[in-house]
Structure 1
Amino acid sequence: MALIRKYFWLGLVSTLALGAVFAFLGVYDTDNLPFQKRYIFWTSTMVTGTAAGALAGPWVFNHVLRGRNTIAQLAVVAALISCPVLLVIVGFSTGFTSSWPTNDLPMQYARVFAISFILVSGTYVAAKALGVIGVAAVSSTSDPSPITKFLSRLPAKYRGAELYAVSSEDHYLRIHTDRGEELILMRLSDAMRELEGAEGLQTHRSWWVASKGVDEMSRENGKQTLMLKSGVAAPVSRSFAKAVREAGLGGL
């Protein structure tokens, strides 16, 4: 609750402050208006952008582009916010008479997008500094799965990915996912401890395989392997063959 209040006050103060700054500078050719009207214009615009961001932000970050590149997420949010903001600007500029030439809209939208992207990025940095971002994501699922916790060790693009397997390479672990592979410095025993309770099992002294990561089982020269959905073959040693068979991985 304290973080929500902190975020609310951050948005409110930012809106009032930016409205004053934009009014003072006479941005967007508004310097010919009295300061009071400029302030009302820019504050209304900022309120619209803040409200649109409150709706678009969680939708983009937690659903549409979850775990993707942050710059891309911010760009999409800015693009969505720019639509209602542009309508407000057009409304004020034309006296809400729709007399603005339509051939000028693309250029106006580009200008609004540039400003929106800067403001959205600034808000993101401020919210992250205040601890708002990250806490909300954790609170959305009161008990995140072991796989979700484990993948949080990886770069942002792997957040929300589907885990296929974990294989040991010297002092490193290769993490196999539907978004590619990544190496991290960790022991397999520690990884398996973190993945306890997840749907999967150890198939080899150097492999742990997720149940949903298996495409099929193959056997060659008496040796069993599990083909991951990524096309990588995960070995099955004799000591773990019974457990793999009982788990029904790959039709075993």
Structure 2
Amino acid sequence: MLIVMGMLLGFLGPFDSENAPLVSRYAYWTICMLGGGLIAVAVDESLGRRLPFLWRRVAVTSALATPLVTLFVVVTQRLMFAEHRWSIYLPLLWQVGPIMLAAMTVRALVWRRLPMRVETRILVVPPLPEAETAFRQRLSARRRGARLIAIEAHDHYLRVHTDAGAELITLRFADALDELARAHGLRVHRSWWVAADAIEEVRWSRGSGKVRLVGGVVAPISRTYRSDVSAAGWS
């Protein structure tokens, strides 16, 4: 990149350099851009990393590198064109500064890291045929083959929500969880279990949240089980 910029400046011949012989002009600008650019890169790698914002880093690095690069340009002119006046240093600062800023800007645009895009996909796997069999046998004939949506604990009773309506059964919540251990669902609260494929929306508020299920059923999400819900893809 630096060599290409040097060749471009050699072609344009800015700052009265068009009067120099063609070969010398291209060599001069290539040396200045390559050497000066490497000095600026060294400054950026050593000091610029401490600056978190890209364009602030470019501005600061260019400003810090300009005096060093200007000194390099003065030495190059002394060696190539027998320019022995050190008084040209200050005027050259105003010429080197914009070029350094442009070079470091191009470098930043080329080498910057674009933000990583992460896509989350939720794969809903149907439960095993036998995963809900034991639990379904506890339901009435009308709801035994219905879609299971959620289970809500009430003391020693459970309210079982299905797409055919809800019904109460006598069973401890812990026993229900054991029977549904292989089913595709998750516990979201100390008294709620929900089927994973019945989740339509999750809303969070200060650590806890609510999950909206098929059929308009809404279940709370406690802080204790937030990580389980997030791990299922609802973050």
Query: TM-score scaled to structure 1, two decimals?
Result: 0.41
Return the structure number with greater helix share.
1
Query: TM-score scaled to structure 2, two decimals?
Result: 0.43
- Structure whose alpha-carbon radius of gyration is higher: 2
